Structure 1
Amino acid sequence: MNHPVLDQIERTGYPVGVPEPDHYGLDGLGNEVFSGDEIYVLNDEFFLKETLMQESREVLETLGAEEKKA
């Protein structure tokens, strides 16, 4: 018999009372993005800022990507 908190964590990945983050989607590189994350948007694609190297950010900015919150 498991403790109810362990059952909750196994079922959802989060303990009781901790809300699951809102899933925004997968970026163009397959990274999971949640509401509130900083992203770059270029055309119909978006990219999670924290996973990009500085050079990648500069390229996206040069190509006209906008920095936004998911």
Structure 2
Amino acid sequence: MPANITDLEKRLWEAADNEAFKLLQERERRIEELRQKIAVGTEQIEQGEVIDGEIVIARLQEKLWKAR
């Protein structure tokens, strides 16, 4: 933070810092969620719990058609 700033500028800097910190925390939370999902998926693959991609696409398309 610059040395010669007004109280208002100081509060604005602090608010920006707080918002940036919140955004970083949210980003880290999302990254951790993704890591956990990847770990689950990797475990499923290792155990042979996989579905052919064409079957997955067909099921998704069917859900989309039913939703219309």
By the TM > 0.5 criterion, same fold?
A: no
Provide the TM-score with structure 1 as the length reference.
0.24
Structure with the higher fraction of residues in helix conformation: 2
Q: Give the number of the structure whose alpha-carbon radius of gyration is greater.
A: 2
Answer 1 or 2: higher relative contact order, Cα 8 Å, separation at least 6.
Answer: 1
